[in-house]
Structure 1
């Protein structure tokens, strides 16, 4: 009997120790298992302009594609050499917002037509603008009202309703002013960051054109691309660029300067090509023309076109002929 009791007691002790052994085994599992089970961080989303560039890389011949470096950025540019033994120079085409380096309106047709006229063409791609990204709303916290001293029991006073309303209005005005100031500062910072990034790409494009022994370099900007080309020439004044052509120029939203103040002061000959049949374009062009007349020795000139919605091929040919004729008046 005593032997049976000892055997039963040993089995009970062993059974009570089994869970502890299992816990110890779990504790000894390597930490790498937990690390392997953790989901891998998601890669950052590509900019829309980067996705568009990747699509062009799949569609266009590799011989036309050039990857240029602009600081920490790399970007796609489309290069077509002149079909001439003695090229006149290089046109650098700057597309507008939402457009690619081979955009079917103005950008693509011009980059393909100029090589037959004795000009190299280099069409750029621009980055997404910080100024166009959603802006975080700054929530102002109203100041807390002063509390009476805990040691004193101040007599209750009845506050007039009008006084409460005045305090609320004053607090709201202060909050709106602070929020407006923060928004303006953020907008200025974004504008400067966008300009620096775009100017770096334009520097890279100009440097590439120089490497091709270009006798002359002309910037051609379309839409908001005309604004950035004009601002680049106004702020940096690169001596390598001899002329500027603006096509259907537009000033982007939330930028520091507009085209009306930029174009008349440029130090290079500038052609402002606009569509006279489009009311908005015509009115904006009139303001730029009037501003140029207030400048002494302005090298600004306007050229009007007629939009042809039913015949895009003829419209693009008209645009090309006007731009080439102004660039090479002897032809």
Structure 2
């Protein structure tokens, strides 16, 4: 009885060994590693690749900065002599054709007579990497489902909750961001834009203020537009409030007062402007506009109206106020 039992145990052991997957050889592991490294792209690199596929080549502009090529989107003014230039800077985790403000405004303002240049700031050091998502095959779509109209990499959520946590930043990053902003301003100036307005979203607004702090009135930018500006968590000094207090040129701040935090920011920034005597500071409340189905077009139109008013001879106003 012991011999048949022993034979049965040996058979079971050999069957189990056959079911276990064999360990990959060193050569096989090495062969798969390059593929994983290729797929791991920074957010900026992924967006750049997608925009290069989606945006007409005549709009694409490569900026040489610190020995590297920085991707931007340029549209000339739709008139012989431009009214000026507009530099649009996307926020962290966004791209140069972001569907909120950046993309609609760069096209709207170009049609209205401004040169526009849109870009995003460099990746922060040691920033997160993301894996490129697979592009859907239209032939394999379920019945009745339309294929995607744009590159999936450009369809990222535009709400702050969809963006990854901000990576840590350093003084070196602030210097690099400021250098890129000033280089982009010079590009617009070389294109014939005598007056340049800088438009920045979220944390890019902080870096824009830092880069242009104490800029003389006759040097670009001559005006600033901040969209839901916020201070990066790792950038403790200088504070956003002190940078706004030091800016004495025309400024339009777009903010959402639908939350208690938004109302507090609006009140605090208005106090800063009044305390500093900045009569050319205006606020635009986004709350009533964002409820519209054509919110982005309306925001771009309001931005255009402010630019047109700003380029006319300024009329004295007693104090800072909210935009009509």
> Does TM, normalized by the shorter one, top 0.5?
yes
What aligned pairs does 1:53-72 form with structure 2 within 5 A after superposition?
53-72=48-67
How many residue pairs get aligned? The number is 242
Task: Compute the displacement of 1:202 (Å).
Answer: 0.9
Give the aligned partner of residue 249 of structure 2.
268
Query: Could you list the runs of 5+ residues in structure 1 that have no partner in the other structure?
Result: 1-35, 135-186
SS in structure 1 of the partner of residue 117 of structure 2: strand
Q: Note closer, same or farther for the CA distance 1:236–1:191 as it changes in structure 2 (3 Å cut).
A: farther
C-alpha distance in 1, partners of 2:231/2:240? 6
SS at match of 1:77: strand
Could you tell me how far 1:98 is from its partner in structure 2?
0.9
Q: For residue 232 of structure 2, what is the aligned residue in structure 1?
A: 252
Task: Give yes or no for the alignment of 1:318 onto 2:298.
Answer: yes
Alignment partner of 1:328 out of 292, 295, 308: 308
- Cα deviation, residue 132, structure 1: 5.7
> Taking structure 1 as the reference length, what is the TM-score of the superposition?
0.66
Correspondence for 2:89: 94
- Residue 49 (1) aligns with residue 44 (2): yes
Runs of 4+ in 1 over 6 A off after TM superposition: none
- Change over 3 Å in CA distance of 1:295–1:37 after alignment to 2: same
Whether the 8 Å CA contact 2:289–2:299 is kept in 1: the answer is: no
Identify if the C-alpha distance between structure 1 residues 131 and 211 changes in structure 2 by more than 3 Å, giving closer, same or farther: same
TM-score, with length taken from structure 2: 0.67
Tell me how far apart the structure 1 counterparts of residues 278 and 184 of structure 2 sit (CA, whole Å). Answer: 29
Task: Report what 1:19 is aligned to.
Answer: none
2:117 matched residue in structure 1: 122
CA shift digits 1:250-298 (9 cap, x unpaired): 2111102332221121132211121222432232122111122222456
Structure 2 residue 179 is the aligned partner of structure 1 residue 200 = yes
Query: In the aligned structure 2, how far is the partner of 1:109 from the partner of 1:224?
Result: 19
**Which structure: larger Rg?**
1
What is the RMSD computed on CA atoms of the aligned residues?
A: 2.9
2:260 pairs with 1:279: yes
SS in 2 for 1:234: coil
Conservation of the 8 A alpha-carbon contact between 1:275 and 1:306: yes
SS at match of 2:120: coil
Picking from 69, 73, 91, the partner of 1:74 is 69
Partner of 1:209: 188
Distance 1:246 1:65, change over 3 A: same
CA contact (8 A) 2:178 2:210 kept: no
Conserved? CA contact 1:131–1:254, under 8 Å? no
Query: Would you tell me which structure has more helix in proportion to its own residues?
Result: 1
